[in-house]
Chains A and B, each alone.
Chain A
Amino acid sequence: MAQHEQRLAYVLLAPPLAIVFSLILFPVLWNFWLAFHEVRLLDLRRFSWWELEATLKNFTKIFTHHDFWPALKATLLYTTGGTLLALLMGLAAAMLVHGRFRGRGLIRGAFLIPYIAPVVAVAFAWRFILDPRGVLMTGLLGTGILDQPLHLLGERPWAMVSLIAFEGWRYFPFDFLFILARLQAIPDELYEAASVDGATPLEKFLYITLPQLKLVLATLLMLRFMWTFNKFDDVFLVTRGTGGTRVLTIKVYDFLIGEFNVGAGASMALILFAVLGVFLYLFLRLVMSRAEED
């Protein structure tokens, strides 16, 4: 019986395991191999790629390129800014929606829509809205706040500002959803006890709500930092990497599609992976030591 059960489990698990192995775990491992070989797309078509010798050339090419450090800086700026803005907006939105009022369910659903809609569709809508001849600039020129239209998507520092704003707009729903769920789980007695003690709403927020949210905020911060750090779609679609927003993921694409240089693309992806690993380690240590102190 037990053996039969075990066999059944393996049969049922086989299809997902096969797919995940061949399309996630194997690619990650093969990426290591590719990163240390000078592989071009043509080599792959000639079926002679395994005869290539291991080399560090991909990495020297990347590190000595004048664009690498600015791209790393842009990546960190974009990731930190986008993650924090989305988290703050998500916290604000969750505080606003928390509680009982008419239309609450409808508003909660509506707030999720930026995250649900296809990124291509919303990115192009934003591109037109932020265009120098678009609705935002025309409005600002009309009120006299500006006398020259700004190129919000192509010029420093505006391109980065726009990109971070877009990240905040598109991903706050994710943070909002999880923060709201946690808010609703905070026991009412805590607030009632504080009211008896004469605490003001602000004090309640600072001394009850925030500490209760600490774990979910830290988790979201870490998750969203990781995902934003590796984000390609949004940057590519909103600014195309112009105006100081050429982040590392855009460089992976440029190597792969622009130069058909599979090896260099793989090295760039590996560097992303490594940098991310370092940040994750530092972050976890920080959060863990804080958690232990409590």
Chain B
Amino acid sequence: MRREQAETAILRVFRVAGLLFFIFLVAFPFYWMIVASLKPLIVLATDPLDLWPVPGELTLRAYKEIWFQFRFGGYFANSAYVSVLTVLLTVTFATLAAYSIARLRFRGRSFLSRSILVIYMFPAIVIAVPIYALYTELGLRNDLHGLLLIYLAQTLPVAIYMLHSYFKTLPPDLEDAGLIDGCTRLEVIWRVTVPLSLPAMASVALYTFMIAWNEFLFAFLFLDSPSKFTLSRGIMQIADNINVSQQLLMAAAVIATVPIILLFLILERYLVRGLTTGGIKQ
């Protein structure tokens, strides 16, 4: 019994220390990012350890400069455009497709429901070369809509998988009642299934937005003209510019990070539930 008490006491200390360690590890880079974007460069260059926010010292100058002079306002709009379209199209297409797999009888249904997640396993770098070649042929390369199509291809399989697992947990009785009342299938989806699935759809929307908003590889490979840059691509552009300071770059990083974190904090409980019930089955 004494050994158990000793271990329990030690564990309590470990837990507090461990939690503090992880909190520091997770928070520090973000804290540093914000401080570095607000402090004049000269302060951090002379003393990199001076990370306290001194009220009179902080300035939003870097944000103004990066937003207007370095055109991040435009990059932000491009990122928002692609991400919002990706979310709307993915959620619409995936809801209809997932409903079909969950409820309708058709040839190839069991094959589809088994293979849909395998598609998700194809890594981006393996399809990057042929898509690069294909888009060069089709003239889609330096085009936000070309990017949009790639994001749809990457998000649809997971979205369909997640929604189809969710739809299967809904009782079919309500839908049957709707059908008997003379509603068409599409009306049933819109009036019965969608209202019951809002939490699942919110988690799919957040996941999809995250993929599109954060995407780096294709935006970096495909976009050439600054008028079409997304935030990820824009940050790469200024990173190669020797006239751009650490302060400006971190202001850009904060601009790219804040929207996705805010959205996550608002929708978090849906995402956690949706990912773990739809993602890996126990």
Contact = CB atoms under 8 A, between A and B. Distances in A.
Interface of A: 2, 5-6, 8-10, 12-13, 15-17, 19-20, 22-28, 30-31, 34, 39, 41, 44-45, 47, 92-93, 96-97, 107-114, 116-122, 124-126, 128-129, 133-135, 138-139, 142, 169, 177-178, 181-182, 185, 198-202, 215-216, 219-220, 226-227, 229-233, 237, 249, 252, 256-257, 262, 265-266, 269-270, 272-273, 276
B235 A124 contact: yes
B280 interface: yes
Classify chain B's interface size. 35 or more
Nearest to A168: B25
A23 B235 contact: no
B104 interface: yes
A113 B26 contact: yes
B96 interface: yes
Given A109-B268, A118-B213, A219-B280, A252 B129 contact: yes
Given A116-B261, A138-B49, A139-B49, A125 B250 contact: yes
Contact of B18 (A31, A92, A109, A177): A92
B49 to A, nearest CB: 6
Which of B11, B232, B253, B279 has the most chain A CB atoms inside 10 A of its CB?
B253
Interface string B129-163: 11111101100000000000110110011001000
A23 B129 contact: no
A185 to B, nearest CB: 6
A125 B26 contact: no
Nearest to A272: B126
A200 B7 contact: yes
Contacts, number: 257
Interface stretch (B55-63, B115-123, B194-202): B115-123
A233 B134 contact: no
Contacts of B99: 12
A107 B19 contact: yes
B217 interface: yes
Given A24-B127, A111-B26, A118-B257, A125 B214 contact: no
Contacts of A114: 26, 29
Given A17-B97, A24-B119, A109-B268, 14 more contacts: A2-B105, A5-B106, A6-B107, A9-B109, A23-B150, A24-B153, A116-B261, A138-B48, A177-B276, A198-B1, A198-B4, A227-B123, A229-B123, A269-B129
A113 B149 contact: no
Given A24-B127, A93-B22, A135-B49, A216 B280 contact: yes
B231 A118 contact: yes
B104 A135 contact: no
Contacts of B109: 9
A202 B10 CA distance: 11
A219 B32 CA distance: 34
B51 interface: yes
B8 to A, nearest CB: 6
A45 B136 contact: yes
Given A24-B122, A135-B48, A252 B239 contact: no
B15 interface: yes
B49 A142 contact: yes
Contacts of A215: 282
Given A6-B105, A24-B119, A201-B8, A110 B272 contact: no
30 contacts: A9-B104, A27-B134, A31-B126, A39-B133, A44-B133, A45-B136, A47-B137, A108-B272, A110-B27, A112-B268, A113-B261, A113-B264, A117-B257, A118-B256, A118-B257, A120-B216, A121-B33, A121-B256, A122-B29, A122-B33, A125-B36, A128-B249, A139-B48, A139-B49, A201-B4, A232-B217, A257-B221, A265-B129, A266-B129, A269-B128
Interface string B13-35: 00100110011011111101100
A15 B280 CA distance: 26
List of 5 A-B pairs having minimum Cβ-Cβ separation, nearest first: A230-B123, A121-B253, A23-B153, A27-B130, A9-B106
A4 B216 CA distance: 43
B260 interface: yes
A2 to B, nearest CB: 6
B93 interface: yes
A226 B19 CA distance: 29
B249 A30 contact: no
Interface string B38-72: 00000001011101000000000000000000000
